[in-house]
Amino acid sequence: MTTTSEAAQHFAAKLRFETDPSDVRAAQVAGERFTLIDSRGDAAWAQGRIAGAVHLPTAEIAVRAGALVPLDLPVVVYCWGPGCNGATRAALAFSLLGYEVRELIGGFEYWAREGLPVEDEHGPVERAADPLTAPVGAVSCAC
């Protein structure tokens, strides 16, 4: 049987190591200091990405992270979406290098579905918010 204390520790840890699209967007707008890393491959990056993200595929993190991201800069990593554990692998790679890192739950899919800023090689891509993932006409779900 799980105790209340164990449950509280589990959920507190999740909040320390995970974040969601609306919280990352709010942090961007507030000018918070962090780097957003797209850990997907080249084809995925070319197809579209979160505006302002840095492209660093998971397989290259161990070799290239130090040159791209100062060790004292917090990192948020994302991959495709909830059906992909690529962001978890990327978060592990960054944490093994000593970075403070959080995983963007929902990944690129939910960022885009919430109507948040997306770009591709041609510039900004406009997307309406999906009413199944974000409130229509509101800044956040207030959860």
Number of neighbouring beta carbons within 10 Å of residue 49: 24
pLDDT value of residue 12 = 96
pLDDT, position 139: 64
Per-residue pLDDT tens digits for 123-139: 999 888 888 887 777 76
Q: Where is pLDDT greater, at 63 or 139? A: 63
Q: Quick one: which of 48, 27, 21, 15 has its CA closest to 129?
A: 21
Q: What is the pLDDT of residues 1-38, one digit of tens each?
A: 888 999 999 999 999 999 999 999 999 999 999 999 99
